[in-house]
Amino acid sequence: MLEKLHLGLIVSCQALPDEPLHGPEIMARMAAAAAEGGAVGIRANGAADVRAIKRAVSLPVIGIVKRNYPDSAVYITPTLGEIEELLDAGADIIAFDATRQSRPGNCTLEQIIDLLNASPAASMADISTLEEALYAESLGVGCVSTTLSGYTPYSRQQEGPNLELLELAAQRLKIPVIAEGRISQPAQVEAALGLGAYAVVVGSAITRPQLITRQFAAAARKVRMNNNGNERPN
């Protein structure tokens, strides 16, 4: 399954309940557009979106369930329950937080990986540091993704993608390393693959139009401000 992703672009099609494009049918259309544009895989949030996307496209689907629990900072597929939901929905690959933060309840990273290794789905460990990548590999995951760099308090905080982490991980690990997080330009896709990424995930820069619009609107606002200071609220 992972081989189908090699040296390709994976498009993350996600809209949370508070986002304008929220809904499985809309995300399925987004996935169809990504497939038409040449994506080799889709990353999606929630069993309903995974099901709708699997009906709409024939590409491998990486499923996650984002869920917040009161007793943990881990929100990407945090417990065995979310893994079961994704297996039920037919996700081809299941991604989960593989950071060293404690998980909800008594669930452990080892339990998550054991369950996945006994399932038909491939596993993708979302990491934020090289140590986490190495540890996930030692537990037998199928691949790692740099998804959470900048999203744990102890990992490097930066505006763009963490290509240094990607390069180091690609050099040190034997399993595929996926580049993910804050990739917003085609040149960064090329750079990531050149540094050893097995595949590259792009989300917001393709599938969150409200964020894309904001950049163009900010450019226009700058001109208005420079011209006459005649600022409008949006």
Ligand X SMILES: CC(=O)N[C@H](C=O)[C@@H](O)[C@H](O)[C@H](O)COP(=O)(O)O
Interface residues with ligand X (CB under 6 A) are: 12, 14, 43, 64, 76, 147-148, 151, 180-183, 201-205
Contacts of 53 (CB under 8 A, 6+ apart): 13, 24, 27, 28, 31, 42, 44, 61
Beta bridge partners of 41: 10
- Min dist CB 230 to ligand X, Å, is 33
Residue 234 and residue 123: Cα distance in Å, rounded?
42
Nearer to ligand X, 129 or 147 (CB): 147
- Min dist CB 211 to ligand X, Å, is 8
Residue type present at position 14: Q
Nearer to ligand X, 57 or 202 (CB): 202
- Min dist CB 98 to ligand X, Å, is 13
Nearer to ligand X, 21 or 221 (CB): 21
Nearer to ligand X, 68 or 108 (CB): 68
Nearer to ligand X, 195 or 205 (CB): 205
DSSP H or E segment with residue 210: helix 209-228
Q: Please identify the residue of the shown chain whose CB is closest to the bound ligand X.
A: 203
Beta bridge partners of 64: 45
By three-state DSSP, how is residue 39 classified?
coil
- Min dist CB 51 to ligand X, Å, is 17
- Min dist CB 97 to ligand X, Å, is 9
Residue 174 and residue 165: Cα distance in Å, rounded?
15
- Min dist CB 205 to ligand X, Å, is 6
Nearer to ligand X, 42 or 183 (CB): 183
Between CA 63 and CA 160, with CA 66 as vertex, the angle to 5 degrees is: 85
Beta bridge partners of 178: 145, 199
